Structure formats: structure tokens, C-alpha cells
Amino acid sequence: MERTPHFVQTDGRPVFTGHGTGELRCRCGESVLVRGYDPKNFLAVDFQCSVCGVIVTTPGLSALAQPPSAVVPLDRSADAPPEGAAIPAGRVLAGREELDRLMHIYTPSGPASDLTTLSEGWLDAIDADYDRLTGGLLATHLDVVATAEAAKPLSGLAKHKLAWASHTLRAALRDPDFDCIRTDAGSVATTLASAFRYFLDCWSHHPLFAEMAAAAADTGFSLHGTSLFAAAKCLSDSGNRVAFLPSRDGSGRVREFAIAMGPNDRLACVLDSIAAYEWPSGRTSWVFEELRALVLERLLASKARINQKRPGMIVLSPSPTGETLEQPLVDAIFTAFHSHGRRYRHVSAMSVILPKIAPTPERNTVRFGYSFLPVANPKHVSVAVRVGDKPTLTA
């Protein structure tokens, strides 16, 4: 049975007039369905020709193209709009099925559970994904880590972060009294491996995943390397429309994303890594004025990526670090915005993102999630990013 079209042409005149330079014609050659046709404005839309009755379907979104911001979803109602109806600039009409497809591939998924159970099989799966995403370098990286650890404990962490986590956890699992969060090294290794698994669970279906993974792999799949994508997941879960941006420098790396703020506006989101308090070599105590100075320093340093011509949000990644730093750092951001927000009015917000593990009654099982804490700049021109009302630990 032939499907119901979205629009039916009732006479020989175009159904729509757009802003493009082409025409959408029926295959019969007797009618123009859209004058001023631009494929970007009509995604998988069915028109029925008034002359021959054939249904003409416009293409869906092409591979790796960015999803549009201002979309009008269309049901198959066989509507007959006013002949020659104008399409506003930037407006996109899309079939409901096409929108469902785009939502499926561009919206993050999530883990089935926030529980992580450490086992040899779980590590085998992580190692297999690591090897695949690094082009077969797992064995080499594990050898480098093992050599470094034999010479000096914890030195392998600086070589290859996730490979160090796998090496550390496999050794720990051989201990019959193993507890994955009993030691700092075990906690950090568990967090690194869990964050990598979370990254894959959320984004491996995305058209740009290869570029995301390449960027994370450059950091050894460190917590800094995966936190950008965790922040995008948190903002998406809060109702924001998130879009990753292909590399502008041809590097094949995704290093930022954007939030759609309207038909033609996007708010850039960039990650800034903080090393001053990072385990194991960073400072273990903090002074509030030092934190405030650190926030102001990062605001100033961000101007190359976030500025008046390109406003946006800065996401601070201080992990792995002590939990006691989290709220003081948020307070320092609030204080910095209160005193200097007007100077940095191009920054809509600054956020702190931290991966978290929480113990369970089982020694080899933890709960994993992210703490994402945005602080809006009250001096920004318009603060419209949804931050949601989720608890601090979210899966």
C-alpha cells in the first residue's frame, strides 16, 4: 500500500517557495513542487504531484552533516498548505521518521545500569575496545606501563592512562581480598576504566564517534579526554540540543561541542583541564583565594576559544582529585563571576565535571556517574542553558 504523503499539490503551482536556487520537480516533468528549493530545508519530505499523483521524496540528512537547529516535524497528513507558502530563512521541514532516525544517531545513549562490576571478563572487553580504537597498540602500551611500574610505582599512569588502569586492576584482581576502592590507585583505575566504558555506551553509535575516540585516545583515554563527552551527555539529559563539531583544523579530532540556542545560534562548549590538584602529583590541599585565582586564570586563557564573537561555556575538568575540591571550586567560580562577570560576559557559564564512584556492599562493584555543576554568569547577555534538577551522581 502506498504511503500517505506529507503534502499534496492541489494544482500546478509550487507547494512551497524557498530561499534556494533550484527547483524540486516531479519526475513527470509537468509540475514544480518547490520553487527556490534548497535540500537543507526539506529532509525526507514526501510531496504528491497534482499531475501524475507520484510521490516525490526529498533526501534525508547526509552522513556527517550537522543536524539542523530549527525543525518543524511533519506527520503524514496529506496537507494542502497555501500554494506557494514561503519557508522562513533557516527553517527546516522534516518527516517524523527522519527526525526519529536523527534522534537515534545523534542523541547519546546510556549504560543500562550505573553499577560497574570489575572482573577479568569486564577488563577483557575494555582491552578489546582499547586495542580497536588505538589501531592495535594495546600490547605495546601495556608493555610500556609494566616497565615503568616496575621501575617506579604509579609512573605508568603518565605513560598511558587507560592501559595503566587495566594493568593495575588485573594485578589487584589476583588479590583474594581485592576491594576496588580500598586504595587511591584502585579508585582511580576503577574510575578511568568506568569512564571509558561510559564514553562508549553513550556515544559509540554517533556518526562522529571515530573523531571523538581519536581525540580521547590522544590523552590515553584519560579522565580529561572523556570528560568533554560526559559533559555533552549531562547537558543533553537536561534537555539541551547538543551538536558535536567536526575538526576545523583537519586533525580528525572532535574537541568541542555546541548547544543549539535557536534557529541560527549555537553556544560553544569547550573543556579546560586543570592539573594543579590532579592525583597523584598534584596539591592535596586547597586555599580558596588560590582557587579563585585559578578560575580567573582559566577565564582569561579561554579567550582564544570563547570570546565576544564566539560566546560559550567553559567546562573545567580537575579530576582525578579529592572530593573536597568540588564545592570550593564551584564557590570560586561563583565568586569570580560576581566580581568579574562583566569582563567575561562572553562566557555564559563555567562548569565543573567530575567522575564519581560510590561503594556498594560488594567489594568488586561500584556505582559510577558524573557530577556536573554549571554556574551561570549573571552578566552574560542571555543565559538559557538548561541545567536540570538531577542529583549530583547521575548515570
92: amino acid identity, one letter = V
Q: Give the per-residue pLDDT at 383.
A: 45
One DSSP character per residue, 258-300 reads: EEE-SSS-EEEEEEEE--TT-TTTS-SS--HHHHHHHHHHHHH
3-state SS assignment for residue 214: helix
Looking at 25-39, 47-61, 86-100, 362-376, which range is the least confident one?
Answer: 86-100
Looking at 10-24, 72-86, 321-335, 341-355, which range is the least confident one?
Answer: 72-86
The arithmetic mean of pLDDT across residues 298-324, rounded, is 88
Segment 130-155, tens digit of pLDDT: 999 999 999 999 999 999 999 999 99
Segment 39-92, tens digit of pLDDT: 999 999 999 999 999 999 999 987 666 777 678 889 898 777 766 688 877 789
The arithmetic mean of pLDDT across residues 85-109, rounded, is 87
The arithmetic mean of pLDDT across residues 319-327, rounded, is 77
| pTM for the full predicted model | 0.85
The arithmetic mean of pLDDT across residues 228-243, rounded, is 93
**Predicted confidence band of residue 1 (pLDDT cuts 50, 70, 90):** very low
User: What is the percentage of the chain residues whose pLDDT exceeds 90?
Assistant: 66
User: CB-based contacts of 23: which residues, under 8 Å, 6+ apart?
Assistant: 32, 34, 35, 36, 37
Q: Give the per-residue pLDDT at 386.
A: 52
How would you classify the pairing of strands 92-95 and 71-74?
parallel
The arithmetic mean of pLDDT across residues 20-43, rounded, is 93
What span, in angstroms and rounded, lies between the C-alpha atoms of 106 and 100? Answer: 10
**Predicted confidence band of residue 15 (pLDDT cuts 50, 70, 90):** very high
**Residue-averaged pLDDT of the chain:** 89
At residue 88's C-alpha, the angle toward residues 85 and 89, to 5°, is 140
What span, in angstroms and rounded, lies between the C-alpha atoms of 162 and 145? Answer: 10
**Predicted confidence band of residue 168 (pLDDT cuts 50, 70, 90):** very high
User: What is the percentage of the chain residues whose pLDDT exceeds 70?
Assistant: 93
What is the biggest distance separating any 2 CA atoms in the chain, rounded to whole angstroms?
82
- Which one-letter DSSP state was computed for residue 216? H
Looking at 32-46, 122-136, 161-175, 375-389, which range is the least confident one?
Answer: 375-389
Cell numbers at residue 274, please? 586543570
